[in-house]
Amino acid sequence: MKNIFLLLLPIISIGQVKLPTIPQPTQFTNYNNQNWSNPNNNILKALNPMDIIYGKDEQQRIQQQNQQIIQETQQREKQKETQMREIYTDINQSKSDINYNLPSFSNVKGTEQYRNVYEKMLTLNIENYSVKDLNFEIENAYLENKEDKAEFDQIIKNSGDYILAKMKELKYDTQSNVAKNYMLFQFFSENLTLKSNGLKHTPFKYDFVDYMGNKDWTKMFVSKLLKTKTGQCHSMPLLYLILAEQIQAEAYLSFSPNHSFIKFRDKNNKWYNIELTNGMFTAPSFLINSGYIKAEALQNHIYLQNLSKQELFSAFYVDLANGYIHKFGYDDFVEKVTDKALELYPNNVNAQMIKANYSAIRFEFVAKQLGINPRDNKQLQHIKGYPDTVALLQETNTQGKKVEQLGYTEMPAEAYESWLNSLKEAKRKQENETLNAQFKGTIIKTLKN
């Protein structure tokens, strides 16, 4: 899976090319500024042996000759500097028609919705905002404002009411955060029926068809999940957060490679991981043992950490950028949105990857204007005459290194699918049953209290 949560666009790989440095004119000391005839000059305080060997007249002649050589050398260097300036002037003139910015989509129909959402996001309180409303705005920008907000709100309200009604029926403590999260878990993973009115609810299922949204980006949407009862590891955790917000439960989004899941804690600060793709509790060791979580990733807190409201807001900026990219492509708006995401959460690896993609695509765009194949190291040497292009390549490689230093390791689609399938193994089911039993024990204790 790629891009935020599960759709990370592949980073264009441009080798760490060591380009020849642009020759700079040598700076010579201006010996004419030295006062050689000054008897107080510290350099000439001692008796000059040349006076003894050659006599003062001969020594003066040699000094004049050396002075002339120095002057001629300086004159040649000045001519060389002038020639280099003329060369650089020619280069700058030849590249005057090179566009160093990606073409903008600002005039394309539909982009205005994205810009409107971005401007609205700038006005929101990043510590106190509605997950439901913000997610709807971002999805609706892609759908060109065709979704009905009132209808969406009603579905969420009805779902929240159903969850609370079922809690009361099961005699769960509706004030307990642990009980609320357990009921949410059941809402996602079990068949439920309200005895009072016979209203049935079926669990959500994983959508294995185009789960990365390569062909249809709406596969990522909560609105699609609500309409079809099928989703994946982007839409399911977001719906969970929306419903948790609706019933005033505390829950957090967390990342693992190409994946996101839900975390919450009990009164003893014990954390639980909910894997919504198969309706199971999972142990942290299972996530770590996937083989794609490096020590650096844990040290930099890019995986397995519960996101704060501010960090979650950063993730929504990434969602906005990703939808724009899939609908239109890369331009300066993508960079602006991504920079805002990184301002809120510098270690947002998904935002860092989008920025790396943007830099690489921009470099390719410039290189092709110069008639250079950016994937051919031999041709790539020809950019040495274009300092701005060299700087762009360096920026691209630097951004790629940032992603690596955060601890990101690419998880191929087949490896992700294999990891998903491993959730169905008997060992995982046993772990789920054990955690489930422990959790039910916590619920019972809560109710007794």
Lowest-pLDDT range of 74-78, 101-105, 160-164, 440-444: 440-444
Q: How far apart are CA 326 and CA 308, in angstroms?
A: 27
Contacts for 287 with CB less than 8 Å, ≥ 6 apart: 256, 273, 293, 303, 304
Q: Is the pLDDT reported for residue 430 higher than 60?
A: no
Residue 424: band (very low, low, confident or very high) from pLDDT cuts 50, 70, 90: low
Closest CA to 435 of 189, 167, 238: 189
pLDDT above 70 covers a percentage of the chain that reads 75
Q: Give the pTM.
A: 0.78
Question: What is the structure's pLDDT at 288?
Answer: 75
Going by pLDDT thresholds of 50, 70 and 90, the confidence category of residue 319 is very high
Backbone angles phi, psi at 116, to 5 degrees: -65, -40
Per-residue pLDDT, 428: 54
Phi/psi at 379 (5° precision)? -65, -30
Weakest mean pLDDT among 15-19, 35-39, 324-328: 35-39
State residue 55's pLDDT score: 53
* Mean predicted confidence (pLDDT) in 46-62: 50
The pLDDT of 374-398, averaged and rounded, is 91
Lowest mean pLDDT among 33-42, 176-185, 267-276, 313-322: 33-42
* Whether the predicted pLDDT of 15 surpasses 50: no
Domain ranges across the chain? 111-448
Each residue of 121-141: pLDDT tens digit?
999 999 999 999 999 999 999
Confidence grade of residue 438 (pLDDT, cut at 50, 70, 90): low
Residue with tokens 């290194």: 401
Q: Which residues, including other chains, have CB under 8 Å from residue 61's CB and lie 6 or more apart?
A: none
Specify the pLDDT at position 211.
82
Using alpha carbons, select from 165, 199, 202 the residue that is nearest to residue 180.
165
Mean pLDDT of the chain: 82
Q: How many residues does the chain have?
A: 449
pLDDT at 160: 98
